[in-house]
């Protein structure tokens, strides 16, 4: 039987003796590589960012969000004076954002007034100063509780609704479709919500002031025997118009913050339904923090403009 040329070569004879397949060519078998195969290279884990890098990235993201919100506000102000004026949509948004928020604003105001009155009356009764309850409740509600607490609670509802609605439009590319048709998404979507929120927040705060004060007046008369006429008269003697104005003047700023932050997070939503949920959560948290910070700044400004003794 003729011998195969592959087996006749020295490399072929050595391969046959060792039980290995002969080489494809007629040359010597190449010695195996001493290094590890390329497919078994060691996996190198990427370096995790340090503490400084992490907080630097968060600071850059925060500054970026501030810039985008400021840009959104500038675009809304420019679009305000361009035709067509979205009056019908603005009125519809006032009904959605304002009228449908009366329930939660009423509950929060009434029970806040009840708790405040009971706490102050119980504490002042120990020192024989229960007659000052009406003065304290009136001043605290007019200057701080009615505007800020109402904005916090209602702002969470309004901001979540705006972000969820615009976020759903963003992930389904409806906002891109509006821009593709030649319309301005800021004018169509942001401007009506911005001015509706600015207009309804003072009304909700004034409504909460009346209900909260009424609840406090009734609970002190029922629990502590303090006449509601005396409670009302002492409160009106202490609360001046400057106190009422210093509280109400803050609410339009709170309304603007709620609408701008909600629209910003809604229009920048990405990632489907999961992105909508994430944007809604971030919007509510950001609105709450922004209202508290701006409340401190506006309170200091109003104290300088309208001192309590004026």
How confident is the model over 94-115, as pLDDT tens digits? Answer: 999 988 999 999 999 999 999 9
17: pLDDT confidence band, cut at 50, 70 and 90? Answer: low
pLDDT in tens, 248-307: 999 999 999 999 999 999 999 988 888 999 999 999 999 999 999 999 999 999 988 887
From 120, 117, 95, 109, select the one nearest 152 (Cα to Cα): 109
pLDDT in tens, 187-201: 999 999 999 999 999
Radius of gyration of the chain (CA): 35
Q: What pLDDT score does 201 carry?
A: 95
Cβ-contact 13, 26 below 8 angstroms: no
Question: Which residues contact residue 112 at a Cβ distance below 8 angstroms, ignoring those fewer than 6 apart?
Answer: 145, 149, 212, 215
The whole-number pLDDT of residue 1 equals 47
pLDDT, greater one: 14 or 145: 145
Quick: pLDDT tens for 25-74.
444 444 555 555 555 455 566 777 777 777 777 788 878 878 888 898 99
CA atoms within 13 A on the CB side of 165: 15
Q: Which pLDDT score, from 0 to 100, does residue 56 have? A: 79
Task: Enter the pTM of the model.
Answer: 0.79
Check residues 40 and 158 and name the one with the higher pLDDT: 158
Per-residue confidence band for 19, with pLDDT thresholds at 50, 70 and 90: low
Q: State residue 169's pLDDT score.
A: 92
pLDDT of residue 7 exceeding 80? no
Note the pLDDT of residue 154: 93
* Cβ neighbours, 10 Å, residue 175: 19
Tens-place pLDDT, residues 129-149: 888 888 999 999 999 999 999
- 123 pLDDT higher than 70: yes
């Amino acid at each position: 039987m003729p011998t195969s040329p592959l087996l006749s070569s020295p490399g072929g004879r050595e391969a046959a003796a060792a039980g290995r397949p002969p080489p494809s060519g007629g040359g010597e078998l190449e010695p195996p590589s001493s290094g590890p195969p390329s497919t078994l290279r060691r996996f190198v884990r990427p370096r995790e960012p340090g503490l400084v890098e992490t907080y630097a990235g968060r600071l850059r993201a925060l500054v970026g969000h501030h810039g985008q919100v400021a840009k959104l506000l500038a675009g809304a102000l420019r679009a305000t004076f361009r035709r067509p004026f979205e009056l019908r949509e603005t009125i519809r948004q006032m009904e959605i954002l304002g009228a449908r928020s009366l329930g939660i604003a009423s509950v929060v105001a009434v029970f806040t007034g009840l708790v405040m009155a009971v706490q102050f009356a119980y504490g002042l009764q120990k020192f024989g100063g229960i007659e000052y309850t009406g003065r304290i409740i009136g001043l605290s509600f007019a200057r701080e509780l009615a505007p800020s607490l109402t904005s916090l609670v209602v702002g969470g509802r309004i901001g979540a609704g705006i972000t969820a609605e615009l976020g759903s439009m963003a992930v389904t590319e409806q906002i891109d479709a509006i821009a593709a048709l030649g319309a301005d998404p800021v004018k169509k979507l942001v401007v009506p919500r911005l001015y509706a929120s600015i207009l309804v927040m003072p009304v909700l705060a004034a409504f909460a002031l009346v209900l909260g004060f009424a609840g406090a007046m009734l609970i002190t008369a029922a629990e502590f025997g303090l006449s509601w006429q005396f409670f009302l008269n002492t409160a009106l003697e202490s609360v001046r118009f400057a106190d009422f104005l210093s509280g109400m003047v803050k609410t339009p700023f709170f309304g603007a913050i709620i609408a701008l932050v909600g629209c910003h997070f809604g229009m920048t939503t990405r990632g489907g339904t999961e992105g909508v949920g994430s944007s809604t959560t971030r919007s509510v948290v950001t609105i709450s923090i922004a209202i508290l910070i701006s409340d401190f700044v506006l309170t200091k400004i109003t104290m300088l403009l309208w001192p309590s003794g004026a």
